[in-house]
Amino acid sequence: MKLKDRVAIVVPCLGGNLKLEETAKKCIERILETTRNVDCELEIIVVVDEYTDEFLEWLREKGVFIHPSKDRRGFVLAYNHGINFAMKHGADYVAIVNSDVLVPEGWLKALLNALKKNPHFGWVACKMKTNGNYTTFGTLGCCLISREAIEKVGLLDLDFNDGQGFDDDDWIRRFWINGFMPHGVTTLPAIHVHPSLTFDKIYGEKRFERFRRNQQIFQQKWGETGTDWSKIPVWSPTKLKLAIIGWDGADFDVVKMLPLEMKEYGILHYIDTYDNSATSWTSFTTGVPPKVHGVLDFKRPFDSRIVKHPRIWHVIEGRWGVINVPFTWPPQKLNGFMVTGLESPTKGIYTYPSGLTKILNEMGYKIHIQIRKDDEYCAMWDCTKPLNIRREVFDREWKDIVAKRVKAVKLLTKIYQIDYLFVVFSVLDAVQHWFYDDREFVAKWYLYLDRITVKLLADLQPRNFIILSDHGFKRSDLGGYRGDHRSGGIWITDLPIRPKNLEDAFHELVKFYRGGLV
């Protein structure tokens, strides 16, 4: 009895020069990194043409199956060679990843999940980001195909081997004819890093001529000029349409400078904000400026009932999960659930429905650090203490807070089957207030939250996402701080929405989700 599925990943690549081979190395490294914990029997098959000896030796060191050729076989022949080898060695599923593509976190698990639950799909593919544009079905760039479908449909048509394109257009029609319905899957997008590099080497100035050649073959065969890939249906394992993840205090200049993975999956955009959290988060959630909604500063104690304008979770219809959005206490009734954020009392009810408070308390959930004069956590704020002690205490406390918040998000999202998630992480605000001058420590926490966010999105698999901050940071000695707020924030998304400010963001989202576009 076979206990695990056998999956073969075919990577066709063209070598022969440094840039092509370095691109392929990054692709293969990323595949190895993202498939370590996938529960299957896995093999990677690299079909490489015109390689250098150094590249071949590198592949051997990685332990992959290598099918080299000093001559150029062509892409269709390379695809078929890898697929055929995988099938002969008993693969239940064959993945194809082009050598100029970087796969996202969780990609193989997501594609396997989709195809095992929906065997009639036959062929599933990740979203793809190419030059800042998104497609919901990445064709042969990053996909998974079942053994059953390959046996029934056959390999790619070699008539397209000597040209450019339309091999995938032809193949998907043969899938349709044979009763399969290929789907895109709502993973994070795969990244097409050098979309023209390989074809430029192969065809140079004759690229368009080769494209026309294959288009004519396709048109003669099917009577059509191509495929509208935007019409390929998209499957999601969850109802989750949108995840809004707040990085409270994330500074645009810092995010732009650091090598954050989230910037690969969405477009980074500067957004005008206010210089304090109370005003900014209230403006984003209501779509009106401070003089209208009335929240001008950190007036304490804060009461969400003073805000008379409806919030975004009341305007966009659907089930919402709202977690740790600052200045939302007392919790508001909504279709879904709410866990209030900053400025919630340390005792009492901080959730809607109220029964969730007991569940979260038993989990050890914390909204924020509660500091007392005799508390060891005072050490992290005391600049007279040794830096290593302050770092250690901050790391221990905030990693626990972040972990419990992620756990709460996953649990409540699953229980309530929500359509929209809005969760805020406030650790970047805290670390920059008290450790602003310790740039290495601050950068470490940006990178940490980036990894947490990527993993969370890979687990939740929303159709789309937004990463948003309420303000940035600047150097300050005010009130014992080392850093303090400045206006301006980040907006990272895979949606076609580029708002100028927080109020615009509200209205653009309402228009998008109430305008029949989803």
pLDDT tens per residue, range 234-246: 898 888 999 999 9
CA 148 to each of CA 49, 166, 168, 348: distance values in angstroms, whole numbers, following the listed order: 29, 23, 18, 57
CA distance 201 to 504: 44
Higher pLDDT among residues 137 and 3, named by residue: 137
CA distance 501 to 282: 13
CA 510 to each of CA 33, 419, 463, 499, 516: distance values in angstroms, whole numbers, following the listed order: 38, 14, 16, 12, 11
Evaluate whether 327 touches 341 at the Cβ level (below 8 Å): yes
Higher pLDDT among residues 256 and 200, named by residue: 256
CA distance 262 to 245: 11
Domains of the chain, earliest start first: 6-235 (3.90.550.10), 242-514 (3.40.720.10)
Across the range 112-129, mean pLDDT stands at: 95
Evaluate whether 491 touches 465 at the Cβ level (below 8 Å): no
pTM: 0.86
Q: Residue 330: is the preceding peptide bond cis (ω within 30°)?
A: yes
Evaluate whether 381 touches 434 at the Cβ level (below 8 Å): yes
CA distance 451 to 441: 16
CA distance 461 to 115: 15
Q: Is residue 262's pLDDT more than 50?
A: yes
pLDDT at 518: 42
Q: Is residue 406's pLDDT more than 90?
A: yes
CA distance 273 to 271: 6
How many C-beta atoms surround the C-beta of residue 505 within 10 A? 27
Q: In which band, very low, low, confident or very high, does the pLDDT at 517 lie, cut at 50, 70 and 90?
A: very low
Least confident of 50-54, 218-222, 279-283: 50-54
Q: In which band, very low, low, confident or very high, does the pLDDT at 395 lie, cut at 50, 70 and 90?
A: very high
Mean pLDDT of all residues belonging to the chain: 89
Percent of the chain residues past pLDDT 70, beyond the cut: 92
Across the range 286-307, mean pLDDT stands at: 86
Helix locations, 63-166, DSSP H: 75-88, 107-117, 147-153
Question: What element of type H or E holds 465?
Answer: strand 464-468
Percent of the chain residues past pLDDT 90, beyond the cut: 66
pLDDT at 81: 93
In the sheet that 351-352 helps form, which strands lie side by side, from edge to edge? 267-271, 489-493, 464-468, 242-247, 420-425, 320-325, 336-340, 351-352
